[in-house]
Structures are given as structure tokens and as C-alpha cells.
Amino acid sequence: MPLFPVHRDPATAAFFDGTARGEFLLARDTTTGAWLAPQTDVDSRDELERVPAAGTGSVVSWAVVPGRGERTEPTVVAIVQLDEGPWWWTELVDVDPHGDLADLRVQAQFMPSGPGEHDEQVPVFAPVG
């Protein structure tokens, strides 16, 4: 569950347009085919474009943050390597906090970061299948 509402700024607006459609947008270099991280400033170079990723990847590393305050359940956080290559630092849902999550296959889901009209949809990752 997202910890707090997230709002767009000029740098993240296109990414959130994607999450609203259920897409995880990466950047791609049309001349080389190289996949680049979502944070890449696509508008800075003509050869860059935004392309939806498959939304699948594997867990590179994870940590478990104990519950605190209103959030009583622990949060499992992870570095996910997307199948296209880039890394994404994220929350894992529907996983056993005590389990061995190394190389776990995961898939993006999109959740509202808050109840407000301007609270963006954010990606979390759950086990595939």
C-alpha cells in the first residue's frame, strides 16, 4: 500500500499518464534500441521515446520495514530488475515477508496513492501468476 499520496510534477507527468492507463513507461533510444530508466528526460533528445514496458521483472534485493504508527504490517521493499533492463525501487505486495524472495518473478500492479482526485496511481509489484 502506498505510504502517502503522490502528485505529478513536470518531470513525472508522462509517467503518471502511463500509470493511469495501467502502463509502466520506460524510455527507449530509437537509434540503438536501448531501454532506459523511466526517469530519463525523454524530451531532451529527439531519438528518445516513451514505450510501455512488459511490467515484469525479477527481485534483485529486498528489505522488510517493520510496521510503525498507523501502518501495523511490515512493508516489503525491493529493487526489481525489469525484463527490459532498468531497475525500479518499489514495494512488493502479496509476498511472505519472511520468505526467500531472491530472483522472484514479479509483475507491476497499479494502485491509487491516495483518495484525492490528484493522487496519482503508483506501481507496486506482486508475484507473477
Task: Using CB under 8 A, list all residues that contact other proteins.
Answer: 2-7, 9, 11-12, 36-39, 60-66, 74-75, 77-79, 81, 85-87, 89-91, 97, 102, 113, 122-124
CB of 32 to other proteins, least distance (A): 14
CB of 107 to other proteins, least distance (A): 16
C-alpha dihedral over 36, 84, 50, 4, to 10 degrees?
-90
Pick the closer one to other proteins by CB: 71 or 128: 71
CB of 121 to other proteins, least distance (A): 11
Instruction: Decide the pairing of beta strands 105-112 and 87-92.
Output: unpaired
Using alpha carbons only, what angle is made at residue 107 by residues 100 and 49, rounded to the nearest 5 degrees? 130
CB of 100 to other proteins, least distance (A): 9
The cell numbers describing 26, all together, are 520506460
The answer to whether 19 and 121 are in contact (CB under 8 A) is yes
For residue 111, the surrounding DSSP H or E stretch is strand 105-112
Would you give the distance in Å from CA 91 to the centre of its chain? 8
Pick the closer one to other proteins by CB: 9 or 46: 9
